[in-house]
Amino acid sequence: MLNRYPAWKNITVILVTVLGILLALPNLYGDDPAVQISENNATLTATTTTQVEQALNTAKLPYKSAVLNDNRILVRFNDTDTQLRALGAVKKTLGNNYSVALNLAPRTPKWMRAIGLKPMSKGLDLQGGVHFQLLVDLNAAVQTKLQRDATDIRGSLREKLIRYEDVSLSGDAINVTLRTPEDVAKAKKFIGTEYPELTVTPGSQPNTLTARMSPQNIQQLRQLAVEQNITTLRNRVNELGVAEPVVQQQGGNSIVVELPGVQDTARAKEILGATATLEFRLVDYGANAVLAKQTGHIPLDDQLFPDKAGNPVLLKRDVIVSGDQLVDAVSGYDQESGTPDVNVTLNSAGAAKMGEVTRENLDKPMAVLYIETKTEHTTVNGQAVSVHKKVYTVINVATIRGIFSKRFQITGLAQDEAQNLALLLRAGSLAAPMDIVEERTVGPSLGQENIKQGFYAALLGFVLVVAFIALYYKIFGVIADLAVFMNLVLTVALLSLIQATLTLPGIAGIVLTLGMGVDANVLINEHIREEVRSGNSPQASIHAGYRRAFATIVDAHVTTLTAAVMLFLFGAGPVKGFAVTLSLGILTSLFTAIMGTRSLVNWFYGGRNLKKLPV
């Protein structure tokens, strides 16, 4: 019979509708401003929760709830003002060892969370926070590695008694000059086995060798450098205390960092961008550093560095212990003097070396050399270029008072210096220097304003469209409205399901698909009207109307989908968000306009003896 739907189609429509409503539901509840407390190394207990509650009560800050879950305490508040003040109060009570961060906690009921229903997450433009894009200087990573190899080879050749004249780095090649052809053969064999990633070929001059990295190895090294930088950035972001940070690779050499809710961007930048490491070296107290600087005659085993005040200090070339042998670093206060310090713990190799050196050099001075990579922007021939410069500072010179190995303190720092140094040492060093090439900061109130405006605009547009369609197409218009509404619900459901991030362009994409959905319904209803006008029976008109609109709707949706997919593949950032919502919206619009409305129409009118159609 005409216009009857098989049961499975009706069941599909009902099932999808129910599922869609269920998945979209969590988005109706909104968020609570919250403060999130976590600890990096230990588990949180109920005692901490009580401590937090007491702190809030003392400060007379009303809170909705404080719950310990998944090793983090989430304290919910009524407004952002209380939330901000609570952040300060909790930080003050708990001290440095906890990470306390601002967060937005979804207000979804327990049963929804229990079955894994989650709302869409909001983008930074709707929530407030900072977005950074960092460009990794990969050539520097390759250079550093070759530099290290060259130094290593020099040392190893000396150890193996292979006589060499020079080992130097030029461009991406390590050039080794040896004394005799026998040495060349020995060196070639040795380097070939010890450094498999280097390809050794005879050099242009007699008795020389050239070692290079293969393109594949360079590629691998670059990828590893980006990955190590990502790991380091994650550690640093965790140290910063951000609720739900995003750190991910974008393209070959970029890293995107998103920190929702972060207010203090200056500190965030300082911590993210810094590449710092430490070296412990002995001071050459026998030589006169000021004189060495004036005359330029620096003893062969020494190097000249400035201290914090700019005065020259002569240090031995030999590094006792460097930053990568460090296990932990915690900032605190010196027990005797009460001044800020950093408590350092070394690994066993570092501890052994430190023990040996301190035993041999009791009562002699030792220095802490702080090495920081800074980025400078200059313009060369109209092109913006960033140059990475290593800045060396002797931050501390102290007399070795006793033999120590595994644990010791660095003193002579200001409080924030001690905190930053400990943080940077803990969070590891970067494999390659990075530069912030994009930064977007959105204040939290602006986020609220954006979401409000986008929402009201979309709502008004929606109401106007619904009213017009119902007026214009009567009952069929109401059915079309239902379909467009379901289109909205299903799009939101899919976005929640894939946990997409909703941004402002994303909202615009949703609004646009509502337009597409309306168009599909208009096409159907216009075709039905046309059939009625040409004198067909109501049932035949419905049937033919849907049949004829079908091909057009599919064509129109597929072409728009083509555009949306291209946008997704080649667009960046916000354009991608727009493309995702648009693509999903097109798919749901196809479903609701064709199958959804048809099942309603069939159920309403199918198989009945109709005189006239309310279209």
Partner 1 sequence: MEFFHKVPHINFLAARKLAMGMSVAVLIIAVVSLAIHGLNFGVDFTGGVTVQVSYPQPADLRQIRETLGTAGYKDAIVQNFGTPEEVLIRLQPKKGVSGKDTGSAVLTALQKASPQVKLEQVNFVGPEVGKDLATKGALAFFLTLTGILLYIWFRFEWRLALGGVAATLHDVVFTVGFFSIFHLEFDLNVLAAVLAVMGYSVNDTVVVFDRIREDFRITRKGTPFEIINLAVNQTLSRTIITSGVTLLVVIALLILGGPVLHGFSVALFVGIIVGTYSSIYIASATALMLGVSKKDLMVRVKEDKKVDDMP
The binder of partner 1 chosen from 87, 292, 511, 542 (CB under 8 A): 511
Nearer to partner 1, 76 or 131 (CB): 131
Nearest Cα neighbor of 320 from 372, 287, 358 is 358
Calculate the alpha carbon distances from 332 to 95, 200, 264, 271, 402 in Å.
Answer: 11, 50, 23, 19, 21
The pair of structure tokens assigned to 178 is 């040896």
Nearer to partner 1, 325 or 503 (CB): 503
- Provide the minimum distance between the beta carbon of 610 and partner 1 in the complex, in angstroms, as a whole number: 19
Q: Cβ(415)–Cβ(340) under 8 Å?
A: yes
Query: Residue 40 and residue 238: Cα distance in Å, rounded?
Result: 8
- Provide the minimum distance between the beta carbon of 512 and partner 1 in the complex, in angstroms, as a whole number: 6
Binding to partner 1 in span 43-102, by CB under 8 A: none
Nearer to partner 1, 66 or 590 (CB): 590
The binder of partner 1 chosen from 569, 608, 609, 611 (CB under 8 A): 569
Binding to partner 1 in span 135-174, by CB under 8 A: 135
- Provide the minimum distance between the beta carbon of 353 and partner 1 in the complex, in angstroms, as a whole number: 38
The binder of partner 1 chosen from 404, 462, 485, 603 (CB under 8 A): 462
Nearer to partner 1, 290 or 558 (CB): 558
Residue reference for tokens 């200087």: 137
- Provide the minimum distance between the beta carbon of 137 and partner 1 in the complex, in angstroms, as a whole number: 12
Nearest Cα neighbor of 29 from 112, 100, 101 is 112
Per CB under 8 A, which region of 20-28, 90-98, 193-201, 447-455 contacts partner 1?
A: 447-455
Nearer to partner 1, 176 or 549 (CB): 549
Binding to partner 1 in span 345-404, by CB under 8 A: 375-377, 384
Query: Residue 199 and residue 189: Cα distance in Å, rounded?
Result: 11
- Provide the minimum distance between the beta carbon of 416 and partner 1 in the complex, in angstroms, as a whole number: 17
Which residues are 329's β-sheet partners? 344
Query: Residue 84 and residue 65: Cα distance in Å, rounded?
Result: 16
Does position 22 interact with partner 1 (CB under 8 A)? The reply is: no
426 sits in which H/E element: helix 415-426
Site map 527..556 versus partner 1, x via CB under 8 A:
--xx--x---------x--xxx-xxx--xx
Per CB under 8 A, which region of 178-186, 277-285, 403-411, 454-462 contacts partner 1?
A: 454-462
Site map 113..132 versus partner 1, x via CB under 8 A:
------------x-------
The pair of structure tokens assigned to 303 is 């190097």
DSSP letters spanning 448-480: HHHHHHHHHHHHHHHHHHHHHHHHHHHHHHHHH
The binder of partner 1 chosen from 17, 275, 450, 501 (CB under 8 A): 450
Does position 515 interact with partner 1 (CB under 8 A)? The reply is: yes
The pair of structure tokens assigned to 202 is 């005879």
The pair of structure tokens assigned to 577 is 């968000």
The binder of partner 1 chosen from 31, 244, 417, 526 (CB under 8 A): 526
Beta strand extents in 64-197 (DSSP E only)? 65-69, 72-76, 98-106, 121-122, 129-136, 164-170, 173-178
- Provide the minimum distance between the beta carbon of 522 and partner 1 in the complex, in angstroms, as a whole number: 5
Q: Cβ(514)–Cβ(586) under 8 Å?
A: no
Binding to partner 1 in span 212-271, by CB under 8 A: 265-266, 269
Does position 614 interact with partner 1 (CB under 8 A)? The reply is: no
Nearest Cα neighbor of 598 from 536, 537, 528 is 528
DSSP state at residue 307: B
Does position 443 interact with partner 1 (CB under 8 A)? The reply is: yes
